[in-house]
């Protein structure tokens, strides 16, 4: 039944050769981030820093930075990650409340100094300071009392003072409601959880229809264990590495940033401020770092958008056989279709480009092109696309706020029809080795490259 906690998952990564362990002493200020960037582009594995300089707390990063590790997280074959993620996040399982959890092993409630305990990374050159980038913020809806969670970037501003980017629902909406009543919002900032809980925290809760704790239960195939906290009324994941209890204050906005974001650009906002009054952690805790703009960041964002947006598109476009998002922030949609008429790919391109501000470009290919292999998509563009005939350009569209080239969120969009013309099957027939030979050699050779 899934992993109980982050430690169990790290052990599985180690056993599967998916973990690089670094003994050198590296500083959380820039150096661990630099190593995560360097190794993301070279080894592609998760990284355990055993010696974060100045701390008695190891740091794990690039945790879910490959499809293979997402597959290990969900305990499925790599080709089934997306469909399992979609399926299981609909199979809701309610959390259970237990009386005690390992996260309460150490409780600090006096002279709070976040940076004394947590090796939060300063990631990019111009970042305003150390940021928590993998933090699940947990709170309760001031109206309904329902609990919710989401990942939100958090700047450590001072010993117990934080700045938070509470944009997305449900937490953004909870804070808004509390603030309208002039009240602070009690929060728990949760660091270092099992991969199902982490993935559920970034999943779309479909406009409030689904509860992310229940989605986490579905993803891991069993209930999340929560433990009550004394004074805030919140229930927190019992197996987390760290939990910080605090409040987001109403009526205050301060500069939060610059912060090197998922988009690959620095962003600064006027954002709410919080104070932390309690730090809880396990004995010998492990800190989960997430390097923005690394492969992991795009992979996670694409997973949630492919699963929510892809499901909608499949309903709208009967010819669609596969759908992927690629490029930073998923702004390029890859569409595989079973083409039945000339002109159809351009109609589909127009529909998709107009369907969301997120999608700036799109490519349509035939069913013999594997969307998980960008080399194949590029091959189809090079050999099946004629720019004078197959390019679609749309002007004056609503763009994505994180795209700095969009002028006040107004953008042009392009689409590429890289499908074969109908009726020219032999000219465009793709070379293949015989299936039987492939099956035979794959059963002999598989395992050699794991
Ligand atoms: C790596 C990562 C960082 C994120 N950081 C923030 C953030 O700082 N603020 C925010 O409001 N949402 C952030 N999100 C998005 C939310 O955590 C969550 O994915 C989003 O609310 C999707 O759920 P929804 O469709 O139900 O809103 C981040 C997501 C990811 C994957």
User: Do 325 and 82 touch, CB atoms closer than 8 A?
Assistant: no
Task: Specify the CATH number for the domain of residue 344.
Answer: 3.40.1670.10
Question: Is 349 contained in some domain?
Answer: yes
Q: Are residues 133 and 190 in the same domain?
A: yes
Query: What residues flank ligand 1, with Cβ below 6 Å?
Result: 150-153, 165-169, 172, 202, 204-205, 290, 297, 300-301, 304
- Taking the CA of residue 208 as reference, the ligand 1 atom at the shortest distance is 26
In a domain, 1, yes or no: no
Same domain (yes/no): 73, 219: yes
pLDDT-derived band at 339 (thresholds 50, 70, 90) equals very high
Distance 318 CA to ligand 1 centre (A): 30
Burial class (CB in 10 A: 0-12, 13-18, 19+), 410: exposed
Nearest-atom index, ligand 1, CA of 207: 26
The rounded mean pLDDT for the chain is 95
Distance 164 CA to ligand 1 centre (A): 12
pLDDT in tens, 69-112: 999 999 999 989 999 999 999 999 999 999 999 999 999 999 99
Measured in Å, residue 401 CA sits from the centre of ligand 1 at 15
Q: Is 442 exposed, middle or buried (0-12, 13-18, 19+ CB in 10 A)?
A: exposed
User: E strands of 53-202, at which residues?
Assistant: 59-61, 96-97, 106-108, 131-132, 136-140, 147-151, 154-156, 161-164, 185-191
- The larger pLDDT score, comparing residue 232 to residue 20, is at 20
Whether residues 53 and 125 share a domain: the answer is yes
Q: What is the 168 CA–ligand 1 centroid distance (Å)?
A: 6
49-61 average pLDDT score: 98
Residues 72 and 159 in one domain: yes
- Half-sphere CA count of 239, side-chain side, radius 13 A: 18
Please give the residue range of the domain that contains residue 334. Answer: 317-425
Pocket of ligand 1, candidates 127, 131, 141, 150: which has the most ligand atoms within 8 Å of its Cβ, to mutate?
150
The answer to whether 85 and 73 are in contact (CB under 8 A) is no
Least confident range of 27-41, 252-266, 303-317: 303-317
- 243 close to 188: Cβ distance less than 8 angstroms: yes
Clarify whether residues 342 and 287 are in a common domain: no
The residue whose CA has the least distance to atom 9 of ligand 1 is: 152
Query: Are 54 and 14 within one domain?
Result: yes
Please check whether residues 224 and 357 belong to one and the same domain: no
Asked, for residue 205, whether it belongs to a domain, the answer is yes
User: 28 and 61, same structural domain?
Assistant: yes
Lowest mean pLDDT among 46-55, 383-392, 425-434, 440-449: 440-449
Say if residue 450's pLDDT is above 60.
no
Q: What is the pLDDT of residue 328?
A: 67
Candidates 168, 185, 299: which one to mutate for ligand 1, based on the most atoms within 8 Å of Cβ?
168
Residue 5, pLDDT score: 98
Asked whether residue 438 is domain-assigned, the answer is no
Q: Of 256, 265, 282, 299, whose CA–CA distance to 130 is shortest?
A: 256
Average confidence (pLDDT) over 33-44: 94
State pLDDT tens for residues 368-407: 999 989 999 999 999 999 999 999 999 999 998 888 999 8
Q: Which atom of ligand 1 is nearest to the CA of 134?
A: 1
Residue 228 shares a structural domain with residue 374? no
pTM score of the predicted model: 0.93
Do both 355 and 243 map to the same domain?
A: no
Average pLDDT over residues 33-45: 94
pLDDT greater than 90 at residue 310: no
Gap from CA of 202 to ligand 1 centroid (Å): 6
Same domain, 102 and 195: yes
Give just the sign of the alpha carbon dihedral 351, 202, 134, 252.
positive
Whether 357 maps to a domain, the answer reads: yes
Residue 170 Cα to ligand 1 middle (Å): 10
CA distance 367 to 226: 45
Residue 272 is part of a domain; what is its CATH number?
2.30.110.10
Nearest atom within ligand 1 for CA of residue 292: 1
Q: Is there a domain that residue 434 lies in?
A: no
Atom 14 of ligand 1, residue of closest alpha carbon: 151
The answer to whether residue 356 sits within a structural domain is: yes
**Is 185 within the bounds of a domain?**
yes
* Nearest-CA residue for atom 5 of ligand 1: 152
User: 135: CA distance to ligand 1 center in Å?
Assistant: 10
Distance 152 CA to ligand 1 centre (A): 6
Do 88 and 119 lie in one domain? The reply is yes
For 173-190, the pLDDT digits (tens) are 999 999 999 999 999 999
What DSSP state is assigned to residue 103? G
What total number of domains does the chain contain? 2
């Amino acid at each position: 039944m899934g992993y109980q906690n982050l430690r169990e998952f790290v052990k599985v990564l180690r056993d599967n050769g998916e973990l690089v362990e670094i003994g050198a002493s590296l500083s959380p200020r820039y150096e661990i981030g630099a190593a995560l960037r360097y190794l993301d582009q070279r080894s592609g594995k998760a990284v355990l820093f055993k010696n974060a300089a100045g701390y008695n707390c190891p740091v794990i990063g690039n945790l879910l930075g490959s499809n293979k590790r997402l597959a290990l997280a969900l305990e499925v074959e790599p080709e089934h990650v997306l469909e399992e993620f979609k399926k299981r996040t609909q199979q809701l399982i309610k959390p259970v409340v237990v009386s005690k959890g390992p996260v309460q092993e150490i409780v600090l409630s006096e002279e709070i100094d976040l940076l004394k305990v947590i090796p939060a990374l300063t990631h990019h050159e111009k970042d305003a300071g150390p940021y928590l980038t993998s933090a699940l913020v947990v709170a309760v809806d001031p109206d309904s009392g329902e609990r919710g969670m989401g990942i939100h970037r958090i700047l450590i501003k001072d010993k117990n003072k934080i700045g938070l980017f509470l944009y997305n629902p449900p937490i953004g909406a909870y804070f808004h409601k509390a603030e309208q009543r002039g009240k602070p919002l009690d929060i728990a900032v949760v660091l270092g959880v099992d991969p199902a809980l982490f993935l559920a925290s970034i999943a779309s809760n479909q406009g409030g229809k689904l509860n992310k704790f229940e989605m986490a239960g579905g993803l891991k195939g069993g209930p999340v264990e929560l433990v009550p906290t004394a004074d805030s009324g919140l229930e927190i994941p019992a197996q987390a590495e760290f939990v910080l209890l605090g409040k987001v204050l109403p009526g205050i906005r301060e500069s939060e940033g610059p912060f090197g974001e998922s988009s690959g650009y620095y962003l600064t906002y006027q954002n709410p401020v919080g104070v932390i009054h309690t730090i809880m952690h396990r004995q010998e805790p492990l800190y989960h770092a997430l390097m923005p703009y690394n492969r992991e960041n795009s992979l996670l964002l694409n997973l949630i958008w492919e699963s929510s947006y892809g499901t909608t598109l499949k309903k709208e476009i009967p010819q669609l056989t596969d759908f992927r998002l690629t490029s930073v922030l998923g702004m390029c949609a890859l569409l595989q279709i079973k083409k039945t008429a000339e002109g159809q790919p351009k109609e589909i391109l127009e529909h998709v480009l107009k369907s969301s501000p997120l999608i700036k470009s799109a490519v349509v290919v035939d069913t013999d092109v594997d969307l998980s292999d960008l080399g194949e998509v590029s091959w189809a563009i090079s050999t099946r696309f004629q720019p004078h005939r197959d390019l679609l350009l749309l002007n004056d569209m609503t763009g994505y706020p994180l795209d700095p080239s969009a002028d006040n969120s107004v953008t042009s969009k392009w689409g590429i029809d890289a499908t074969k013309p109908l009726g020219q099957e032999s000219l465009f027939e793709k070379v293949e080795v015989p299936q039987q030979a492939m099956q035979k050699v794959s059963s002999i050779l598989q395992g050699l490259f794991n």
